[in-house]
Amino acid sequence: MFPLRDHNPSGSTPYVVYLLMAANIFGYLWYTTSFTTDQGLAAFYGAFAAVPREIMSGDAPLTLLTSMFIHGGFMHLAGNMLFLWIFGDNMEDEMGHLPFLGFYLICGVGATLAHVVSAPGSNVPLIGASGAIAGVMGGYLLMFPKARVDILIILIVFFRVIPVPAFIMLGLWLGMQFLGGIGADPALGGVAYWAHAGGFFIGLALTVPLWISRGGPSYWTRTQGYPPHPQTRYSATRVPRVARPIRPSRPRHPGPWSR
């Protein structure tokens, strides 16, 4: 199950999402071309990745931030940037540019700390933006639970793109993090499942004040869980169209561990 796009257009240009994507992409191009040996790259990770044992001892606190902009490979980077592109623009649109940037960074730091708590004595470095992006997904779930998301289903030789409500896609994703976290040894490298889950719930919690300012439960009653504006209808595509009543628009306002 792989998300391709959502049907939820934003009402403003997501400058912060663009900035974050550029920082991750150009940073990746820089350190993968500057450190061409395994030893050099390992030294780079050692300096800028988050190591739980060091965090617990109070050393290298800046790695709580720098680790969010480091990735372990092209597919790691590409997957994270796709998720940020799909879900980040709408959250930036709802929150505003600078508040969204603060939200993103807090989610990333909180996700790293969630991983540190799960493996406080580990010397395995933690890298990746997906803890912060998981926070964006948690906020998206609260604000737009029924927004349509096109996902690619791959079952051996079966390929199909189908639209599903966001709460199904994000709920399944979150469930997979818990299942993975229960079966993973936190002392070893791999996917940092508890960083994902922690970032998701931190993002959801931080979005509650925004949700309340929109009316809380009455906001859900008014929108029925859909975005409070018409959703995109893709015509030149084989993806089935989303059929629902068009709602009036409202004014818009301004390996290491991997995540």
Q: CB–CB of 9/22 below 8 Å?
A: no
Q: Mean of the per-residue pLDDT values for the chain?
A: 88
d(CA 183, CA 174): 15
Nearest-CA neighbor of 229 among 3, 4, 16, 7? 7
> Average of pLDDT values for 89-100?
97
Fold of 2-230+252-258: Rhomboid-like fold (1.20.1540)
The residue ranking higher by pLDDT, 246 or 99, is 99
Beta bridge partners of 158: 155
More confident residue, 185 or 144: 144
> What are the structure tokens assigned to 158, written together?
């079966």
pLDDT at site 244: 43
User: Structure pTM?
Assistant: 0.87
The more confidently predicted of residues 30 and 237 is 30
pLDDT of 134? 97
Per-residue model confidence (pLDDT) at position 186: 60
237 pLDDT more than 70: no
Q: Is the pLDDT of residue 142 over 60?
A: yes
Whole-angstrom distance, CA of residue 41 vs CA of residue 116: 22
Is the pLDDT at 113 greater than 80? The verdict is yes
- pLDDT, average across residues 77-89: 96
Question: Between these two residues, 197 and 251, which has the higher pLDDT value?
Answer: 197
